[in-house]
Structure 1
Amino acid sequence: MTRTSQTPSEEQHLQRNLTNRHIQLIAIGGAIGTGLFMGSGKTISLAGPSIIFVYMIIGFMLFFVMRAMGELLLSNLNYKSFIDFSADLLGPWAGYFTGWTYWFCWVVTGIADVVAIAAYTQFWFPDLPQWIPALSCVALLLSLNLVTVKMFGEMEFWFALIKIIAIMGLVATGLYMVITGFQSPSGHTATLANLWNDGGMFPNGMLGFFAGFQIAVFAFVGIELVGTTAAEAKNPERTLPRAINSIPVRIIVFYVLALIAIMAVTPWRDVVPGKSPFVELFVLAGLPAAASIINFVVLTSAASSANSGVFSTSRMLFGLAQEGDAPKAFEKLSSRSVPANGLFFSCACLLLGAVLIYLVPNVIEAFTLVTTVSAVLFMFVWTLILLSYLSYRKQRAALHAQSTYKMPGGRFMCYVCLVFFAGILVLLSLEADTRSALVVTPIWFVILAVTYQFVRSRRQPRAAVREASNN
């Protein structure tokens, strides 16, 4: 939407201030989560070298989800995010469930990130109370996001750039160690043969291979974040396709090559589940500052995820408020066209959750529960994107025919992805810790179903008023 002047009516619209540079790095940052840095050790110990295929399969499926989302967003530039097209194509209930679930997804993920940031700072400041860095982090993200949306784009740009440089450095270091035939203190030689000379690519069989999916799927949460930037992207017809089309390249470079580098240098059986294999590789390479460097990278990765959560939750609340699905206060924008009330509320929730998790005796158990709940809820959002696409193909055949950014595979790949997500849920039910999260998650949908009954009655009047004002 082109703006020549700012009128009172226009003040209630998000501004398109995110450039192609911002969108590309937001997309990359969304595809590189804390799960890769911290969770890859455990996934390697479970699946062995076959974990490479696990990440490739998950990335392959999510690419089609993102292509479906891209076609839908570009079919109507009035869609601000996937809340809008799900409500339009599936019904008001879908917008309500999608918006609030996505908000909860990022609050839960943000809680884990804030606690992780507090833990990472202990590396440098062991005597500092954990509540100080947690509070400081939320205060910093809140203050910067209140300035302008462009400030969010700048923060995410540099956060993502740090992660990219770290992973590229790891891949280059691993390649150099393989070429030079580096020998570790334990006597292991760096070679690509380490990928298959200890039990083959599937050393723990198919059960080990399937077990890798349980944790690896959490590493991809946030990949759809580019969809929440649609309303604030300059020239979305150009920037969104470029960001989505580069997903396969990002998966290969940032996941597959990084894992190959790790397992080529360190035989998969020697990877410690509780440690970051990124740190271990740099230590083997003889870099004395490796621990501090990677600790900084992981900290910025968690900060990036928390930053994404603060941004996306405030935009979700803004969209929900416009539809009458959230308090009207969240619909008001600041003088800088930022949903300030949504930012304050989401940040307050992050702090409350950080306090609750801090009080839980077994933090690791709580973290596993929280991240699994988050992964399940994200899969629910991805599923509604696919269902919206199927409805779009049925209801808006003419729009699909005119689309210049059609989803490859169309409806067939939608069904393939839906079956895949159902399979992931079955795998999550096999382990005790992830099974408990599956049991807890339905409570959220019961809450949504009950609260939806209260908001449904007042949505129609507000929608009618908005329709009249548009005409």
Structure 2
Amino acid sequence: MAEQLHDHVVDTPPGEEGYERGLGSRQIQMIAIGGAIGTGLFLGAGTAISKSGPSLILSYAVAGVAIFAIMRALGELLTYRPVSGSFAEYAREFLGPFAGYVTGWTYWLFWVVTGMAETTAAAVYVKFWAPGIPQWLSALTFLVVLYGANLISVKLFGEIEFWFSMVKVTAIIGMILIGVGVLTLGFSDAGDTASVTHLWADGGFFPKGIGATVMTLQIVMFAYLGVELVGVTAGESENPEKTLPRAINTLPWRIALFYIGALVVILSLVPWTEFQPGVSPFVAAFGKIGIPAAAGIINFVVLTAALSSCNSGMYSTGRMLRDLALSGQAPRRLTKLNARRTPAAAITLSCALMGVGVVLNRVVPAKAFEYITSVATVCGLWTWAMILICQIRYRKAWKEGRLPAPTFKAPGGIWSSWAALGFLVLVVVLIGLDEDNRISLYVFPGWAVLLVIGYQVLKRRNPAAVQALTHGRAEDHHRDGADDHTPARNDG
């Protein structure tokens, strides 16, 4: 096995990790777009609307500004050093091996628990058409099919994700166009009552007060989880210096169209008081319009969103787990690449744990999904915070002349990153104030204890790896960063 791994890695260009750079611009762009559309929008918006009314639009806009600051900070780091395990690698380089260890394992946990929830959710959506099929069987089928696709090649993963994202994008655009048609032309059953005045006529824009609007920020942030996935693709992008900045720069219009635009339309079609928690606002709005197949169409789109999330989870967990193994922070056998240069061992272990979630969700009440998603939110907040802190440290190293200047500078520099960090702290406080979601703040300290114990075990069993990371890795990156990556930027 060692010889096979050696054969795969030794012939790769300097600074790369043995992966096939098989993700083209078309796929990167659609992965970036798809990362901004998920079940948080299709389903979670119903709960958020019932809690705050039309002012939810403002929550999405404010959170979107923070997300863009995070992604531009990530863009600086990605063009400095495009690597697959980007979040953990940057934390390791700028904050030390323990920070890299925590970030890598936490992002891995994020996608494992998300995969558990999304696979089972997809099985629930199947019951809409085929109630007789056992839920566990559908979940297992999806898990096996996506697992096989991720093992075959990164190109197949990219193609599947491209079409998953295409379905979501087409559905959102179609809904917006139909809604605009109803508002301007007055056709359909809702034509006589649909009006933009619903945005302020039913109790005002803040019908439950500004405080209720602020409390929805935690729900909104869950909807944005996964937008950072484009960073994990860095090690397998054909031309990361061009495709990644382009994908990140399209984020504002994606947020404006798919979130704010979609919410403005559906809240104009139907008064916000008619939306209920746990019911897709899109199904409710288009049911009022009188489209007979609305429920089936939305169910198909939500199913696609769940499978897209699970597919992305398998991709992310495999790359992050292999990065941890390459740095000596996970078992060495997880570094193995198969003949198609995908991290087969790491993907297999991650999918096996997602499979445990399928079994658990067969007997655990539906409330477990809320707990899982709240844990995923905190894991995502940690990852976003690490991106911002690493960008701040990178800027400091650049100003001191120890690293090359960024070729894709974030607007606002470190000040926008500090502001975004403050926003993330606010979201954590809001999670603590919410009775339904504060369970994640109880779970995360337990996860932190496990990480500390694991790191102590690692230092005892493999002290050489930890010592090398502590004393050599960051210095090597600072010394060799310009040599490794400047030619790539010039060639691109």
> TM range, normalised to the smaller chain?
over 0.9
* Aligned counterparts of 2:82 and 2:213: Cα–Cα separation in 1: 41
Aligned mates of 2:169, 2:297 — CA distance in 1: 13
Structure 1: give runs of 5+ residues left out of the alignment. 1-5
> Which of 22, 25, 39 does residue 17 from structure 1 map onto?
22
User: Matches of 2:455 and 2:205 in 1, distance apart?
Assistant: 48
Q: Partner of 1:417 in structure 2?
A: 420
Query: Given residue 408 of structure 1, which amino acid in structure 2 is its aligned partner?
Result: P
Aligned-partner residue type, residue 10 of structure 1: D
Could you tell me whether the CA contact under 8 Å between 1:262 and 1:281 is conserved in 2? yes
Report 1:212-231 matches (<5 A).
212-231=216-235
Quote the residue 2:487 is aligned against. none
SS of 2:390's equivalent?
A: helix
Letter in 2 for 1:459: A
Instruction: Quote how far apart the aligned CAs of 1:207 are.
Output: 2.1
In structure 1, the residue matched to 2:145 is: 140
Q: Provide the residue aligned with 1:28 in structure 2.
A: 33
In the alignment, which residue of structure 1 is the partner of 2:119? 114
CA contact (8 A) 1:75 1:399 kept: no
Q: Which residue identity does 1:389 align to in structure 2?
A: Q
The answer to whether residue 448 in structure 2 is matched with residue 445 in structure 1 is yes
**1:69–1:385: 8 Å Cα contact kept in structure 2?**
yes
Cα 1:270–1:192 shift into 2, 3 Å: same
1:358 corresponds to: 362
Q: 1:459 aligns with which of 457, 465, 470?
A: 465
CA distance in 2: counterparts of 1:68 and 1:8, whole angstroms: 30
1:391 alignment partner in structure 2:
393
Where do 1:127-166 residues align within 5 Å? Answer: 127-166=132-171
Cα distance in 2 for partners of 1:399, 1:146 equals 39
Higher mean C-alpha deviation, range 335-344 or range 458-467:
458-467
Pairs within 5 Å for 1:306-455: 306-360=310-364, 362-363=365-366, 365-397=367-399, 398=401, 402-455=405-458
User: Is 1:73–1:85's contact at 8 Å kept on the other side of the alignment?
Assistant: no
Instruction: Say if 2:80 and 2:407, in contact at 8 Å, map to a contact too.
Output: no
Distance, in Å, in 2 between the alignment partners of 1:418 and 1:133 is 40
Q: Distance in 1 between matches of 2:338 and 2:472?
A: 23
Deviation per CA, 1:408-454, whole angstroms, max 9, x where unpaired? 11111111111111111111111211112211221111111111112
Quick check: 432-441 or 329-338, which moved more?
432-441
Measure, in 2, the Cα distance between the counterparts of 1:395 and 1:135.
Answer: 48
Shift of 1:195: 0.4
Quote the Cα distance in structure 2 between the aligned partners of 1:452 and 1:353. Answer: 25
Q: CA deviation at 1:183?
A: 7.1
Q: Distance in 2 between matches of 1:8 and 1:448?
A: 29
Alignment of 1:257-336 (within 5 A): 257-336=261-340
Change (3 A) 1:7 1:35: closer
Between the aligned partners of 1:38 and 1:331, the Cα distance in structure 2 is 37
Return the alpha-carbon distance in structure 1 between the equivalents of residues 444 and 9 of structure 2.
41
Q: CA–CA distance in 1 between the matches of 2:424 and 2:217? A: 11
CA contact (8 A) 2:167 2:301 kept: yes
Provide Cα deviations, 1:300-336, integer angstroms capped at 9, x if missing partner.
Answer: 1000000000000000011111100111111010010
Whether contact under 8 Å (2:183, 2:195) holds in the other structure is: yes
**Does the CA-based 8 Å contact 2:164-2:305 persist in structure 1?**
yes
**Bigger CA drift: 162-171 or 458-467?**
458-467
Q: 8 Å contact 2:104–2:321 — kept in the other structure?
A: yes
Cα deviation per residue 1:81-126 (whole Å; 9 max; x = unaligned)?
1221111111111111111000000011111101101110111111
Which residue is equivalent to 1:247?
A: 251
Aligned pair 1:42/2:47, yes or no?
yes
Q: 2:490 corresponds to which residue?
A: none
Does the CA contact (< 8 Å) of 1:79 and 1:85 recur in 2?
no
Give me the whole-angstrom Cα distance separating, in 2, the residues matched to 1:437 and 1:321.
Answer: 27
CA deviations on 1:249-284 (whole Å, 9 max, x unpaired) are: 000000001101111001001112221111122222
Contact 2:333 2:345 in 1 (8 A): yes
Whole-Å separation in 1 of the counterparts to 2:23 and 2:152: 14
Give the SS at the match of 2:156: helix
Secondary structure of the equivalent of 2:353? helix
Equivalent pairs counted in the alignment come to 461
**Equivalence map 1:159-178=2 (5 Å):** 159-178=164-183
Q: Distance in 1 between matches of 2:97 and 2:39?
A: 33
SS for the counterpart of 1:169 is helix
**Structure 1: how far apart are the matches of 2:219 and 2:159?**
30
* Contact preservation (8 Å) 1:64, 1:413: yes
1:377 partner letter:
C
User: What letter matches 2:372 in structure 1?
Assistant: V
Unpaired runs of 5+ in structure 2?
1-6, 485-492
| 1:248 Cα offset (Å) | 0.5
What residue identity is the alignment partner of 1:233? S
Distance 1:212 1:144 in 2: 36
Q: C-alpha root-mean-square deviation of aligned residues, in Å?
A: 2.0
Q: Counterpart of 2:202 in 1: which secondary structure?
A: coil
Q: In percent, how many aligned pairs have the same letter?
A: 45
Cα deviation, 1:112-161, whole Å, max 9, x if unaligned, reads: 10110111011111111111100000000011111110001000000000
Q: CA deviation at 1:460?
A: 4.1
Deviations 1:28-47 (A, max 9, x none): 11111111001111111111
SS of 2:58's equivalent in the other structure is helix
* Aligned counterparts of 1:368 and 1:33: Cα–Cα separation in 2: 15
For 2:408 and 2:193, the matched residues in 1 are separated by 47
Comparing 211-220 with 101-110, greater Cα deviation is found at: 211-220
Pair 1:200–1:87, CA change in 2 (3 A) = same
Are residues 259 and 465 of structure 1, via their aligned partners in 2, closer, same or farther at CA, if it must alter by over 3 Å?
closer
- Counterparts of 2:275 and 2:8 in 1: how far apart (Å)? 59
Q: What are the superposed Cα offsets for residues 57-80 of structure 1, whole Å, 9 maximum, x if unpaired?
A: 111101111111110121124575
